[in-house]
Amino acid sequence: MPFGACAPVCFAASPDQVVIRKVAEPRGWLSKMSPHPIVYEGRKWWHAVALFQALRFASDDKEAREAVPEPRSPTKKKMIAKRFRARRVVAPLSDQDVENMGLCLRLKMDAHGGVRRKLIASGERLLVEDCSPWGRRVNDLF
């Protein structure tokens, strides 16, 4: 592991949680990086992460917003968004950021019936994204 890198922290999910980690894992279909295109304001976004990253920038910041959706690789989208981080108007993990994630999830559920059915089948369990190395955020706690 490179100097200064954090080791991923993975905890077992409690029975009342649906833990989302990686696309290739059992609940990867819920990941914002899963290959489920969505449409927002007439534009196709190949992954929810692209829209999620773009929503962190002002709606009139065309340069930042236009750079994010192009690559098909979700990891590249994230790296592109990081180049513009000084221009963000929505702070990561802020209330608006969480609201934007909800929007992306709703758009994904509306566009992909199979994903929606799986989510409904999960019942009332809490959705938790395990963002290693930071760990899981539940009720604003890590």
Smallest CA-to-CA distance from 96 within 45, 40, 49, 55 is with 55
Domains of the chain are 33-120 (1.10.357.40)
More confident residue, 11 or 111: 111
- Per-residue confidence (pLDDT) for residue 137, from 0 to 100: 52
Residue 132: pLDDT band with limits 50, 70, 90: low
H or E stretch covering 79: helix 74-83
Of the pLDDT bands very low, low, confident and very high (cuts 50, 70, 90), residue 49 is: confident
Q: Is the pLDDT of residue 4 over 60?
A: no
pLDDT in tens, 22-33: 889 888 898 888
Count of other CB atoms within 10 angstroms of residue 47:
27
- How far apart are the C-alpha atoms of 130 and 31, rounded to whole Å? 10
On the CB side of 6, CA atoms within 13 Å amount to 8
Q: Tell me, what's the pLDDT at 138? A: 53
